[in-house]
Chains A and B, each alone.
Chain A
């Protein structure tokens, strides 16, 4: 599901980038800029922050690509840099507010999230809005686990936390999203029943 691993870059371009060729770096940016910006925006929800993090990510790519050995795909390497930068940003933001990663669960108002999710039941899944209502850490964990394919161990290492922390954050995210998913299923079932009834009356 991750876009990072779908994109292929010619090894020659990577070699040129490693020699400091700005044209080659621009090619890499054109290829990976959108997924990097998207993941940063997904984590921070603020375009200006996502732009800054995208810039930091690619400057880091330029700085470090000479050390890239090619053991993992380039996309996975760039993604790890982007995720690391985004999580570092979230951590620093919490520091500024005097909060820790563990406090984040209480950040969103559950009633608001569930009311919003239920309200979407007759309009299909509005996952974007539901994700936006999740606390930042839960959102990051569900995204890393379900979309980017990270294991709990990897997520824990990135966040400087335990695997249990990652698992509990994922579980909580699912709990928050569950009303929306159930509502969507119920709405789909009702629509199917209504269609059956209409056909039966013909």
Chain B
């Protein structure tokens, strides 16, 4: 995949014809990617901390465990509503959309999924670091927060249900949606905390 016309001419002069180059590029596209061992990130994190390059993670306070409780309760009540049902053992194929990024190769998809999981975890940390909900909240805000938590809980239920077999693309779709909802929740709770600070 040379960058400019000059390079392409040079490539032709290097002794490879068009068909040979096409075969070569096709071969390059099929080469597998290699994932680094798990320990590599631990080494990076340890070195970054040792050099004082990063801030420490904010650890959760116990007062925010209500989120998990609310999510669990909502799961029981609302599991049957809301989200489309992915393919199951019965062969049901009702998932409505296949995202454009489903065309990506497996290694890239796995990378994206990993990134979404970590981002989701980081947002959980952010949420836990916020002060607890005030006693008096606006009804509209409370309802919106409750709605978001319910949707997140439903996604968690789907992702943790071992009887549901999901394709990689479906899992990515769920994780992407979870990150989107978590983002909204964090923004809403941050705004709420800022309002109460005054």
Contacts and interface: CB of A to CB of B under 8 A. Distances in A.
A22 interface: yes
A131 to B, nearest CB: 8
Contacts of A3: 33, 107-108
Nearest to B42: A55
A1 B28 contact: yes
Chain A interface category by residue count:
35 or more
Contacts of A181: 16, 20, 23-24
Contact of B55 (A19, A50, A152): A19
Q: Is the interface of A mostly helix, strand, loop or mixed?
A: helix
Interface stretch (B71-79, B88-96, B112-120, B162-170): B112-120
A23 B35 CA distance: 20
Interface in A38-89: 38, 41, 50-51, 54-55, 58-59, 62-63
Nearest to B56: A22
Contacts of B32: 128
A37 B40 contact: yes
A185 B39 CA distance: 42
A167 interface: yes
Contacts of A36: 36
Interface string A162-179: 000001001100110110
Contacts of A50: 34, 36
B68 to A, nearest CB: 19
A22 to B, nearest CB: 4
A156 interface: no
Nearest to A6: B108
A37 B34 contact: yes
15 contacts: A22-B54, A29-B41, A31-B112, A31-B115, A34-B35, A37-B36, A50-B36, A51-B37, A51-B43, A62-B53, A151-B4, A152-B10, A174-B11, A178-B15, A181-B24
The 5 closest A-B pairs by CB, nearest first: A23-B122, A127-B27, A37-B36, A30-B114, A171-B14
